Amino acid sequence: MDLETPNISKAACTDDQVLPFKCKNPSQATFEQLLSIYSYTLQRPCSSISIPYGQFISILRVYHQLCSSIFIDDQWILYINDYFRAYYMQLDFRATSTSLFQFIRTLCQIIQANIQDELDVFEQAGTFISPNVLSSKTVSAQIQVLIAQFQLAMPSKFLRTLLFVRDITEGN
């Protein structure tokens, strides 16, 4: 992770005096080296101590393969509806599967919309705040914790929708 570090200030302490020095536009390697040596006194003059997550975090969404398969596509659903209904009895899965595939497609759409909504909130409303200079390892670790929390929270947020669908299904 390459964080912009245009101006680093360091106060080196000797017995009785503080010796400040500045390093303008250090490379990432120089910044990491200074941070490892002077971790408690290294400062970076900041115009802001916060940054929205959406400015530096990008989350790749990977959905279940069924949600991107032909089996929930309109062409497939129309095909099985037209073809199988004419040849099979109502109790045969091939004749009644149209409703199931439409239901699966609807669930996939709801899941994708919920995830997108939560990602929008995460990226727009979430803010990374730190008044201190942090190493890229520390920032990465904090980001990984945030992403893990996000991933853990998503199933419980979607559970209400699934329970609602279950209740409707059981009622029929």
Number of residues that make up the chain = 172
How far apart are alpha carbons 139 and 134 in whole angstroms?
7
Single out the residue in 28, 45, 62 at which a domain terminates: 45
Say yes or no: 101 and 17 in one domain: no
Host domain of residue 58:
46-171
Say yes or no: 67 and 4 in one domain: no
Say yes or no: 78 and 154 in one domain: yes
Say yes or no: 39 and 61 in one domain: no
Annotate 36-98 with three-state secondary structure.
Answer: HHCCCCCECCCCCCEEEHHHCCCCCCCCCHHHHCHHHCHHHHHHHHHHHHHHCCCCCHHHHHH
SS3 category, 133: coil
Whether the predicted pLDDT of 108 surpasses 60: yes
Say yes or no: 73 and 110 in one domain: yes
Q: pLDDT tens digit string along 16-48?
A: 455 567 777 788 888 888 888 877 777 776 677
Say yes or no: 153 and 129 in one domain: yes
Residue carrying the six token digits 């390459």? 2
Q: pLDDT tens digit string along 90-100?
A: 777 777 788 88
Question: 117 CB contacts (<8 Å, ≥6 apart)?
Answer: none
The predicted pLDDT at position 46 comes to 66
